[in-house]
Amino acid sequence: MQDHLSRLEAQAIVILREAKAHGLKLVMLWSCGKDSNVMVHLARKAFLGVVPFPVLHCDTGLEFDEVYAFQKRYQKQWHLQLLAPICPPLSATDPSLPAAARVAARKTLGLAQAVKEHGFNAVIAGIRRDEEATRAKERQVSLRGHDGSWQVKEQPPEFWGHHNWKPQDGGSLRIHPLLGWTEIDIWRYIKQESIPVPELYFARPYHQFEGRDFAGQSMRFRSLGERGITWPVPSSAANIAEVISELAQTRKAERAGRPMGSDEDETAFERLREQGYM
């Protein structure tokens, strides 16, 4: 297992260093979730303890209080150059999307706005193939249009670790160092490297949450998103070791607490991805 994690780490560090070496104007997405904290840790390893590009939090104003507190603490501790613009309002999103997906779409608009304002031509994101079927179609270095849109059928193959490092005219790249990792890989690496994560990932009794009655049930978050579109799931895993043990046995999807409008429109997530969603 240590060799497996070492290979994943080495591959991710190579991608980050290659991106920097190609002279791209880089920004890294940092939501303060488990995956993006692993990315920050990898970037600090890759560049001698310093993240040499800004980190971006597309802020909807709907993050959990624990996430904002985590961000404030570790931005200072890790010496991060944080950009945290407020995303455009709900009224600016596609009205044909389901209600929950429109909340997520605000982040897409916020990212496009930040890319244009700062002139970034490459965005480092912490998505993984095992998270969701649409993300499984991604490349480690993915082409985006001038508006951030993603044409999944036009992605070039990546044979033998060769990537396309040239954005299309007026377009940009999305770089995915964690694409081949799994959820349990992330947690095993967090344990191995002692990477901090918000306490929301660990089980505690919930009596009520966002108007839902849980009657003191033990629950935790497997994935962190905005209030109103993210809920905890039943769990007794109160620490990292217990989370790893739980994941080794579970068959439930990681995003079970983040419906993304799936009950209203099963294609909503793919539509968001095509429009530039992370």
Give CB contacts under 8 A, 24+ apart, made by 65-73: 66/198, 66/199, 66/200, 67/31, 67/32, 67/198, 67/200, 67/224, 70/32, 70/196, 70/197, 70/198, 71/30, 71/32
Residue 193 burial (CB count, 10 A): 14
Q: Please, are residues 245 and 237 in contact by the beta-carbon 8 Å criterion? A: yes
User: If residue 49 lies in a helix (H) or strand (E), which one and from where to where?
Assistant: none
Q: What is the pLDDT of residue 29?
A: 97
Is the model's pTM score more than 0.85? Answer: yes
Residues 273 and 150 sit within 8 Å (Cβ to Cβ)? yes
Q: 181 by DSSP, 3-state: which? A: coil
Contact between 158 and 141 under an 8 Å Cβ cutoff? The reply is yes
Q: How far apart are CA 18 and CA 141, in angstroms?
A: 11
Task: Check if CATH label 3.30.479.30 holds for domain 2-182+266-275.
Answer: no
The pLDDT profile of the chain, 278 residues, written as one tens digit per residue, is 779 999 999 999 999 999 999 999 999 999 999 999 999 999 999 999 999 999 999 999 999 999 999 999 999 999 999 999 999 999 999 888 887 788 888 998 999 999 999 999 999 999 998 887 666 677 888 888 776 676 666 677 777 677 888 887 778 899 999 999 999 999 999 999 999 999 999 999 999 888 888 889 999 999 998 998 888 999 999 999 999 999 999 888 887 777 654 444 455 555 555 555 55
Which amino acid belongs to residue 53? F
Q: Which residues of 142-176 are buried (b: 16+ CB within 10 A; e: fewer)?
A: bbbbeebebeeeeeeeeeeeebeeebeeeebbbbb
- Region of 215 (left: φ > 0; alpha: ψ -120 to 50; beta: rest) is left
Tell me, what's the pLDDT at 150? Answer: 67
With both helix axes pointing from N to C terminus, report the angle between 268-275 and 99-118 in degrees, rounded to the nearest 10. 10
Pairing relation of β-strands 82-83 and 55-56? parallel
Q: State the DSSP code for 91.
A: G
> What is the SS3 assignment for 10?
helix
Digit-coded pLDDT (tens) for 139-165: 888 888 776 676 666 677 777 677 888
Domain residue extents for the chain: 2-182+266-275, 184-257
- Alpha helices by DSSP H, listed for 79-238, are 99-118, 183-193
